[in-house]
Structure formats: C-alpha cells, structure tokens
Structure 1
Amino acid sequence: MDNFSSALLTIDLNIIKSNYQRLRDQLGGKDCAAVVKADAYGLGIKPVSKTLWESGARTFFVALPEEGIELRQILPDADIHVLVGVMPETEEIYLQHELVPVLNSLEQIERWGHRGRCDLHIDTGMTRLGLAPKDISKVPATLDVDILMSHFACADEKDHLLNNEQIAAFQNACHAIAHKRASLANSSGIFLNEDAQFDLGRPGCALYGINPTPDQANPMGNPVRLQGKIVQVHEIDTQHSVGYGATHALQAGQKLATIALGYADGYLRSLSSSGVVYVDEAPAPVVGRVSMDLITIDVTDIEAREGQLVDVIGPHNPPDQIAKQAGTIGYEILTSLGRRYKRIYKG
C-alpha cells in the first residue's frame, strides 16, 4: 500500500471462483449463470466477470443495457442477458451488441416483435417485474424464448409458504410457454430444494460472499477485505464529546483513534455508534457519528498507532455482520463501496 492511500480494498478473486464452484456443486450438474449487475455488486465487473468466465460461467445477467454493453467489451463471447428488458427505442442497441432482453410485459413483447432470441419473465409473486399469469395466454407462440424466468421473493426464508406457491406457478408457466431453459433460483433459491432449481441457477450475492442461507452458517467465502488507516490517536484526559452533534460522551482515560474513511466511501452513516472494526484481532467500536471522510473508534485497551491499518470489512466482520450493525443487508454494504480506496485484486 502506498503512503498516500488512506484505505485499502482487497478482493480475492480465488474466493469468488470457489464460491461459483460451490454453487455449481449445489446445483448438481445444472447450469449456473452469474449475475454481475451494479459493477459486480461493487467489486469490479472487469476482473470479476473474467474470473467467472475462467471458472466456467457462460451465461451472465446484468440489470441495464449499458452494463451489457460494458460486459460485451470484456467478454466478447459471453451470453449476456439484460433484466430490465426493452425500453422504447432501445431495440437496436440489443441487436448491435448481441444482448438478450428479458421481456417483462406484453408491451415489451410487442416492442421486441420477431427480432430474435429473448427471455420472458413471469411474475409468480414478487410483484415487481414480469408478466402477470393472466397474460400468459397472450404470449405469441412465435416468440423465440430462450430463458423463461421468474424470481423468488422469500427464498432466504426456507419455510415461507410463498416459496412453494411460486414454484407451482412457475411450473404452470413452463407448461404453457415454449422455451429452451427455465430459471427461478436466485442465490437463496439454489439452496431451497431441487424443485426450485429448474435448468439454470441465477446466483448474484452468494458469488460475493453474502450468506444465501441466513438461518445457517454461511456456505460461501468472503472475498472482501477493507482496511482503513489510523490518522490520529487521542488520549482523553478530561470529559469530552466526540463527533457531530456531540452524541457520544467520553471519559478521562479513554483513548480514541480516527480512521480516514466515512460515508463518502460507503461506510454508512447508520453505523454511527453501532459499527465495529478490528484492530489486529481486537474489536473496536465506532463511537460518535460517521462523518463524510472520518470515523472514530474506541481503542482504550488496544495498541494503536498512526498509519496502522484496521479491518473495516474482513475475516471477523464480513459484509453480513456489518449490515446487521447498520440495519440493512449485505448487498447494500457491497454496492456502496467507494471509489477512493486503493484496490488490489488477488488471484
């Protein structure tokens, strides 16, 4: 790490590769796609998608056509599918860059027409995107459907009643619409049961270490380590407060360290006085409010010095743990990772 960088983000591509293999194993020989939307969940679409290609992934999903165009430059031979479908006057973009649209409505089906291969999204209970079941009979028999797909709403809750309802609704759609491949299982869906898996798994978050089975130990590895640098150590000799709003009182004898990292870098403000970082192996709580560029931690009983790196995300505090402290989900932690870090890719 150079002396100018205040934070270091290390992404272990070998762990992403092993996560992909773990998901393929769980699918028991069924095909496994890779979702790389939102810059591969904040970890960098270029190195991550190349790693997944080397691991055997051939089908990729992105959210937006511009993401698909970027991915096409990285992986010229990949099979790239775009989840938002065909907006008005975008049809030629898909053809020009060999992108497959996921059609979500009768209007999108009409807009796409007979331009070639497409996917079709059926809403089986998410009520977010997809064709309503009542409209299935209106799908033209001539539509060239590659992947017939839907999306679980509650797969991370294994016993939720909606899971079986969605599987049954999707099975009905599969019987009614001609297609080449069927895909329902997201990361958590892959771990539900064999009935949920169909032909193609569609993992996203699990590739990047988020736990697809929250009620059990995480079967995935965490590829992310974010380290912030201590820029000042404070010995508290009289009663003080710390940070904006003076929300946290300090006592004489406490010791604080200030880290050059804040909400501008994706360390959420909701982690104020609730986050925990690790100085070597020792947990150090965040005290006071998270600022744009700085956080303060209590190192009263910890050896700490200027220039020392501390683990903001790491082996002891993976994204899911930080998300719990922030009252959010691991997805938001990863996709909020800032651009000011020095990034290092291992493997």
Structure 2
Amino acid sequence: MRPLSKPLLNQNFSLSPKAVIPATEMGCLEINLKTIVKNYQLMKDLAPHAEISAVLKADGYGFGASPVGKALRDAGCKTFFVAHLDEGIALRKTLQNEKIYILTGVLPGTENELIQHNLTPVLNHAGMYELWKTAGHLENRPLQCALHIDTGMHRLGFEMKDIPNARCFEGLSLEMVMSHLACSQIPGHPMNAQQLAAFQKVIPHFQRLQKSLSDTGGLFLNPEYHYDIIRPGLGFFGMHPQSLEGPNPFQNVLTLWGKIIQVRSVPKGETVGYGATFKTKRHSRLATLGIGFADGLSRDLSNQGHVFIGDFKAPILGRISMDYSVVDVSDVPESLCYPGSWVQLVNEHQTLDDLALSINTISRELSIHLGSRLYRMYEN
C-alpha cells in the first residue's frame, strides 16, 4: 500500500477529531453545521423564487434532527418536514415556533397529539380528511393541514380522480398542496415530466394554496418544478442529488472516526476475521478498530473498503463484525498506528456516496444506520 496521490497529500489530513473525545468512545461522528448551512444557502441560490424548507425525517437522515434543525432555523429556514408524529414531537422541543409538517399525516388516535404539539399533518387519503375535520369540529375551529396528491409514485397521497376541487375539503384550513417526484435524481427520466403534467392539471383547483413538488433532486430540474416551496433533505448533508452523475454541488459535512484498540503482526498465510474470508499475502501489521456494523459500518464493506490514517489508505481485511473491524496498516508509519489513535472512515475524499456506490446501495441507507454508540460532535 502506497501513500495517497500527491493532490491528497497536500490536504493535511487530520489525525484526530477536532475536539477532545472521551476516552471511553470508540467512534465519533464529526458533523459540520456550518457546511450544512452553506449547502442550504446554495439551495436558496438555485431556487431564488421558492422557499427552501428542510426535511429532517429519520432523525435528520441520521445526522441529528435537533442540532441540524436549530442551525437551519438560525440561518433562516422556517418550514420543516418529518415523516412520523414522534419525530415531530421530538423536533418541536427545539423548534418551538417554526412550521412542522408530518408527512405520514393523521392516523386514528393521533389527533390530540398533533394539536397539542402544534404539528400540521399532510393528508394522504379521505379517511385522514374525515379524522382531521372531526377533530376540528371538536376544537371549534378548522385545523391547518396540507394535501398530498399522488401523481404517479403510488406510495402516499390522494388519487387524482378524488381531487376535483378545493371545495371537497370544507371544514379544513388547507395551506399547501403537494406531490412527490419518483425520479428527480435522474434528470432525463420521463417520469419527471409525466408527474409535472399531472400536478399541473390539478393545481388550478387550489390557486390560493402553496404548491410543492420538488425535493433535493428537483432543485436541478427546470425551474417550473420549483413552485412555492421545495422540500430538500439529502442535499443538506452533502449527498449527491443526481445519482452520482457529475460533480456533487454540495459539500461533505461528515467525518466518521474509528479508534484503534490493538495492533498486531501476523505472518503470511494467516486468516482474518469471521469465516476466514481473507488470508494475508505477506507478513502484515494489522490494526483492530473498535467500530463495526453495530455502529453503521456495513458488512458489505468487508474485504473491499478502506480507511484513512493521516495521508495513508489502509484496506479493510476480513469480515466487519458487530463491534470491530480490522485494517492492514503494514505500510502506515507505526507512529500513526497505536492503541488510542484514530482513523477516518468517511471524509471529503471518501464520502457516504462513495461508500454507497462501492456496495450498490444509497448514501441515505448508510447515514441513517450510523449508530447511537457513536459520539456526536457538532462544529458550529
């Protein structure tokens, strides 16, 4: 294993997290809130005539909905979306005055929680309309909500034939009509134009409402997709918006660190890890990291991923186990590899997108599995 190429050698790789991490911690997520805000500003530049909201479902794609939401609020973001009610209740503790929509909508028995926490459901079918209208009658006021229309994704939303006009929703305080693009990350996909045309057919019946169609990928489609409010998610976190085609316009916000807990010398011909899937081809020096698939490091990276130690790459050997991973540090200076030293598993040169591409998945699947055992450090 040779040092990285010259351009990377000039990057002055960090050897440890920027803050002092408790000695008990085996892994650390270093999340740059300033860069998240920069990505937000880029979105505003891309769609200057639309409001940029923030989708922070699944605990902000695994990055932390509360700290990310606070940073975006302080940068001017006023509208937020989460998937489920419990996510909205948790986010309301941080965002006390901002608009929070619940994409799953209102389900039986959740009406009072939505009202109590001032959360706005996105209605997806007629049953939700009836529940929310009845709850409004009990409150003696029409309750605020948004309307989701299915334009072809067939996941959530009213069917178009059930949406003749806004008068069908008397007794509600409708604020927004929305749909969701199935293929926005593939700019030339014909589904985008089909869904836009379907949305254009129904929105004349809702002239006074805000309209919303685009997610992060939609930012890079024709401006006619933008409408009044855009609902980005992954772009805030530096993930590629268009299926890894071309350079990523967003900046990486994450460094994932793992701690070395043991270094050993192993003769040629010895096996490494469960299942003995790797056999050393030379006398090797191996480092065991205290981070594994319980922390979100996918087992699919076994025998093909690598980590960064200073300016050096070190390949992952053998199967990644629940709590540990093994890397080959034979060509890394011993001064950099000792119990208690740190390695980088994700950084600007090996992003979540890069890892996802190497194991045929998507970056969001990796990010939401970043485990609760990982120490989280937010850079403001």
* TM-score normalized with structure 1 length: 0.96
Structure-1 residue corresponding to 2:18 = none
CA distance in 1 between counterparts of 2:314 and 2:183 reads 34
Structure-1 residue corresponding to 2:78 = 58
CA distance in 1 between counterparts of 2:345 and 2:56 reads 24
Per-residue deviation at 1:187?
0.5
1:129-151 alpha-carbon deviations (Å, 9 max, x no partner): 11111111276152432111111
Structure-2 residue corresponding to 1:224 = 254
SS in 2 for 1:333: helix
Within-5 A mapping of 1:213-252:
213=242, 214-252=244-282
Contact kept, 8 Å, 2:29 with 2:254, in 1: the verdict is yes
Within-5 A mapping of 1:192-203:
192-203=221-232
SS in 2 for 1:137: coil
- In the alignment, residue 125 of structure 1 is paired with which amino acid? G
Per-residue deviation at 1:179?
4.6
Contact kept, 8 Å, 1:141 with 1:178, in 2: the verdict is no
Structure-2 residue corresponding to 1:316 = 349
Q: Establish whether residue 292 from structure 1 lines up as the match of residue 325 from structure 2.
A: no
Per-residue deviation at 1:110?
1.7
Contact kept, 8 Å, 1:41 with 1:335, in 2: the verdict is yes
Identity %: 39
Pairing partner for 2:302 from 239, 256, 272: 272
Identify the range of structure 1 (167-176 vs 249-258) with the bigger mean alpha-carbon deviation: 249-258
Structure-2 residue corresponding to 1:260 = 290
Structure-2 residue corresponding to 1:126 = 153
CA distance in 1 between counterparts of 2:254 and 2:216 reads 18
SS in 1 for 2:246: coil
Per-residue deviation at 1:342?
2.0
CA distance in 1 between counterparts of 2:188 and 2:268 reads 54
Contact kept, 8 Å, 1:148 with 1:179, in 2: the verdict is no
Within-5 A mapping of 1:94-109:
94-109=114-129
Identify the range of structure 1 (282-291 vs 296-305) with the bigger mean alpha-carbon deviation: 296-305
Structure-2 residue corresponding to 1:26 = 46
CA distance in 2 between counterparts of 1:338 and 1:76 reads 27
Contact kept, 8 Å, 2:257 with 2:345, in 1: the verdict is yes
Structure 2: unaligned runs, 5 residues or longer: 1-20, 137-141
CA distance in 1 between counterparts of 2:342 and 2:273 reads 21
CA distance in 2 between counterparts of 1:271 and 1:251 reads 20
SS in 1 for 2:40: helix
Contact kept, 8 Å, 1:236 with 1:251, in 2: the verdict is no
Contact kept, 8 Å, 2:267 with 2:280, in 1: the verdict is no
Structure-2 residue corresponding to 1:345 = 378
Contact kept, 8 Å, 1:258 with 1:294, in 2: the verdict is yes
Per-residue deviation at 1:153?
0.6
CA distance in 2 between counterparts of 1:340 and 1:141 reads 46
CA distance in 2 between counterparts of 1:299 and 1:173 reads 60
Identify the range of structure 1 (211-220 vs 197-206) with the bigger mean alpha-carbon deviation: 211-220
Structure-2 residue corresponding to 1:86 = 106
- In the alignment, residue 280 of structure 1 is paired with which amino acid? G
1:279-300 alpha-carbon deviations (Å, 9 max, x no partner): 1122222111110001111222
- In the alignment, residue 343 of structure 2 is paired with which amino acid? V
* TM-score normalized with structure 2 length: 0.88
1:237-274 alpha-carbon deviations (Å, 9 max, x no partner): 24111110001111232222111100010111111112
Within-5 A mapping of 1:137-216:
137=164, 140-142=168-170, 143-213=172-242, 214-216=244-246
SS in 2 for 1:118: strand
Pairing partner for 1:41 from 57, 61, 77: 61
RMSD, aligned α-carbons: 1.4
Contact kept, 8 Å, 1:184 with 1:201, in 2: the verdict is yes
